Amino acid sequence: MRISVIGCGYLGAVHAACMAELGHDVIGVDVDQAKIDALSEGRAPFFEPGLPELLKAEHGRLRFTTDISEVSHARVHFVAVGTPQLEGSNAADMRFVDASIDALLPHIGPGHLVVGKSTVPVGTAARLAEKVEATGAELAWNPEFLREGFAVSDTLTPDRLVYGVRRGDDRASDVLDEVYRRPLSTGTPRIITDYATAELVKVSANAFLATKISFINAMAEIAEVTGADVTTLADAIGHDARIGRRFLNAGVGFGGGCLPKDIRAFQARAEELGVGHALAFLDDVDQVNLRRRQRVLDLITDALGTELAGRTVAVLGVTFKPDSDDVRDSPALDIAARLALRGVRVKATDPEGIETARAKVPSLDYHPSARDAVAGAEVVTVLTEWREFRELDPREVSTWTDARTIIDGRNCLDAGAWRAAGWTYHGLGRP
Ligand SMILES: NC(=O)C1=CN([C@@H]2O[C@H](COP(=O)(O)OP(=O)(O)OC[C@H]3O[C@@H](n4cnc5c(N)ncnc54)[C@H](O)[C@@H]3O)[C@@H](O)[C@H]2O)C=CC1
Ligand SMILES: O=C(O)[C@H]1O[C@H](OP(=O)(O)OP(=O)(O)OC[C@H]2O[C@@H](n3ccc(=O)[nH]c3=O)[C@H](O)[C@@H]2O)[C@H](O)[C@@H](O)[C@@H]1O
């Protein structure tokens, strides 16, 4: 099929490359010339495992442009532009979705299917359908559930596909079945529903995941005042298949370009709909999450004493999670930036996130390796659980620095091994 993908960021670039891998002819469109230049040269504009290989392999079937008129050759148009948090509000900023749909309209008509992928407030698809249908084209909403770091495999082999279509619009479902023929042929569950349900599936999935993380982080708060161990607690309750162990890792909490802004936008939309009370708990989910960042700052302050200005702290990991260079709403970078604001010299490192972090928080002292970052530090923190930090040998680290306090913001280190090597170890919710 001939497909266009409007918006080539973390979601859209991967989607475009994967659609080509599935055998389709794909044109990716973005307003960011630098991104399009990189993609056109077969280079990924951000770090995502597996994407560079796909971009190289798919050169023949995959093109990128800033010229929206080139989409007229395609028949299926995926909209994957950003829906960030609106400045000064909890709501989603819809201006990129609206602009991309308006830009598409002159180039579509009967036989074209526009497919929303961006995460949007419920009601968006119904609102946009009127504009799209006025051209003779149709609209579907097909939310995306990929995780950064696993984006390629999540797109090629999704755990489910959800199509939101106009009631009774079999053509839209048939076209999407054709697009996803390969994953469907391996038995991927597919749910066909109305626009509102499809939009809500997406935001409720992220709200549930955020709630699960904040639940375990709330247990960490209780563990901290009772001497209990939240990691053992998570293992024990996780054995109950109804609860499950995944997404029960306590630590500095969730960040990224999605969970935080999605739970806020969901609350804002519920308030607009007059049912804000139904999602009032998401405010607590948000607050539990943000308190974990403060907890790490308190542990650092306790270790250093009250005067922070002029002290030196090593921060290992600045991205919002491992295997990504994404620092959007990263708990690690937020903690590092707040330390720097208080006059701390922050020596930070990250396997892939130094440049994205530097662009947002230039005031940190960035280093290429953990060894360089810990040299001269008084406290060492691990705030993103990259494998190379999880596997640090505490006896070796002791030869790089005089620091003997380690704060494990992701509960990813072997506390016993660090203590045996002479370190004072602090996890979150762990004795
Ligand atoms: N990043 C992720 O893992 C996932 C993201 N999503 C959702 O997908 C959407 C996109 O997210 P990301 O890719 O992370 O954002 P992003 O910020 O990385 O990418 C958005 C892209 O859209 C481009 N853009 C903005 N206006 C445009 C226009 N008028 N025409 C063409 N391109 C335009 C931007 O230049 C940017 O490259 C959001 O709604 C997000 O919630 C959903 C699932 C996973
Ligand atoms: O809508 C989105 O964009 C995506 O948001 C999340 O994916 P992602 O943001 O890539 O990352 P996750 O793996 O969900 O992690 C989110 C945050 O939660 C944190 N987390 C995760 C799991 C856990 O047990 N504890 C925990 O603190 C991570 O460190 C990270 O900061 C969802 O998992 C995806 O299904 C969804 O498509």
Question: Is 18 labeled as catalytic in the residue annotation?
Answer: no
Ligand 1 mean position, distance from CA 290 (Å): 24
Nearest CA to ligand 1 atom 31: 30
Say if pTM beats, i.e. exceeds, 0.95. Answer: yes
Ligand nearest to the CA of 220: 2
Counting DSSP H helices and E strands in the chain, the numbers are 18, 14
Residues of the chain with pLDDT under 50: none
* Contact 11 CB / ligand 1 (< 6 Å): yes
Structural domains for the chain: 2-192 (3.40.50.720), 194-431 (3.40.50.720)
Is 307 annotated as a binding-site member?
no
In this predicted structure, what is the pLDDT of residue 167? 85
From first CA to last CA, the distance across the chain in angstroms is: 57
In this predicted structure, what is the pLDDT of residue 59? 66
How many alpha carbons lie under 13 Å from residue 376 in its C-beta half-sphere?
12
Q: Nearest 5°: phi and psi at 208?
A: -65, -45
Alpha-carbon distance of 141 to 318, in angstroms, equals: 33
**CB contact set of 181 (below 8 Å; sequence gap of 6+):** 22
Interhelix angle 195-226/230-238, rounded to 10 degrees, is 130
The 190-193 sheet, strands edge to edge: 62-65, 25-29, 2-6, 76-79, 113-116, 138-141, 161-165, 190-193
Token code pair at residue 319: 């991205």
CA dihedral 33, 37, 42, 44 (to 10 degrees): -40
* Contact 147 CB / ligand 2 (< 6 Å): yes
Token code pair at residue 37: 């230049």
